[in-house]
Amino acid sequence: MTTDISLDGLMRIYQALATSPSGKVAIKLSTGEPGSNYLRTDLIGELVQSLEGTIVECNTAYGGSRANTAMHYQVAEDHGYTAIADVDIMDEEGSMTLPVAGGDNLTENYVGAHFANYDYYVVLSHFKGHAMAGFGGAIKNISIGIASSEGKSHIHSGGTGGSMWGGNQDAFLESMAEAGKSVVDYLDGNILYINVMNRLSVDCDCDGSPAEPDMHDIGILASYDPVALDQACVDLVYGAEDGQSLIDRIESRNGLHTLEQAEKIGLGTSYIAETEEKEAIRALEYAYENGINYADLATVDAKTFSYYGKAFSSVRKNLFYQVHFGADYESGSYGWTANVETVRRSVDAQLTALQTDYIDYGFIHCLDEEKDYSMIGTFTPGEAVGNCVYCNHCQPCPAGLNVGLINKYYDLAVAGDSMAAGHYGNLEKKASDCVACGHCDRRCPFHVKQTSIMEEIAAYFGK
Write out pLDDT tens, residues 150-186.
999 999 999 998 788 878 999 999 999 999 999 999 9
- Quick one: pLDDT at residue 368? 46
- Quick one: pLDDT at residue 371? 46
- Which among 260, 299, 307 has a CA at the least distance from the CA of 282? 307
* Spatial contact of 173 and 193, defined as CB atoms under 8 Å apart: no
The maximal CA–CA distance of the chain, rounded, in angstroms, is 92
- Quick one: pLDDT at residue 317? 95
Residue type, 277: E
Measure the CA–CA gap between 250 and 263, rounded to whole angstroms.
18
Domains defined along the chain, listed by start: 7-270 (3.40.50.11440), 277-379 (3.20.20.100), 384-461 (no CATH)
Rg (CA), the chain: 29
Which residues, 6+ apart, have CB-to-CB distance to 462 below 8 Å?
A: none
* Spatial contact of 175 and 155, defined as CB atoms under 8 Å apart: yes
Measure the CA–CA gap between 425 and 352, rounded to whole angstroms.
48
- Quick one: pLDDT at residue 301? 83
- Indicate the pTM of the whole model: 0.66
- Quick one: pLDDT at residue 369? 47
- 132: helix, strand or coil: coil
- Which among 143, 166, 146 has a CA at the least distance from the CA of 155? 143
What is the sign of the dihedral through the CA atoms of 91, 206, 140 and 126?
positive
DSSP string across 48-112: HHHHT-EEEE---SS-GGGSSHHHHHHHHHHTTGGGTSEEEETTTT-EEEEE-SS-SS-SEEEEE
> What pLDDT, in 10s, does the model give residues 12-53?
999 989 899 999 999 999 999 999 999 999 999 999 999 999
- Quick one: pLDDT at residue 75? 98
Report how far Cα 107 is from the mean position of its chain's Cα atoms.
30
CB atoms within 10 A of CB 330: 12
- Quick one: pLDDT at residue 370? 46
- Quick one: pLDDT at residue 380? 52
- Quick one: pLDDT at residue 274? 66
Measure the CA–CA gap between 285 and 332, rounded to whole angstroms.
24
- Quick one: pLDDT at residue 384? 60
Beta-sheet pairing, 120-126 with 25-28: parallel
Measure the CA–CA gap between 30 and 126, rounded to whole angstroms.
8
DSSP string across 192-206: EEEEEE-S--SS-TT
- Which among 288, 349, 359, 283 has a CA at the least distance from the CA of 321? 359
Measure the CA–CA gap between 248 and 403, rounded to whole angstroms.
46
- Quick one: pLDDT at residue 235? 87
Burial 172-203 (b: 16+ CB within 10 A, else e): bbbbbbbbbbbbbbbbeebbbbbbbbbbbbbb
- Which among 433, 440, 298 has a CA at the least distance from the CA of 370? 440
- Which among 392, 431, 436 has a CA at the least distance from the CA of 413? 431
Low pLDDT (below 70) residues in the chain: 271, 274, 365-384
- Quick one: pLDDT at residue 366? 54
* Spatial contact of 193 and 229, defined as CB atoms under 8 Å apart: yes
- Which among 93, 94, 87, 92 has a CA at the least distance from the CA of 31? 87
- 210: helix, strand or coil: coil
- Which among 308, 301, 202, 290 has a CA at the least distance from the CA of 247? 202
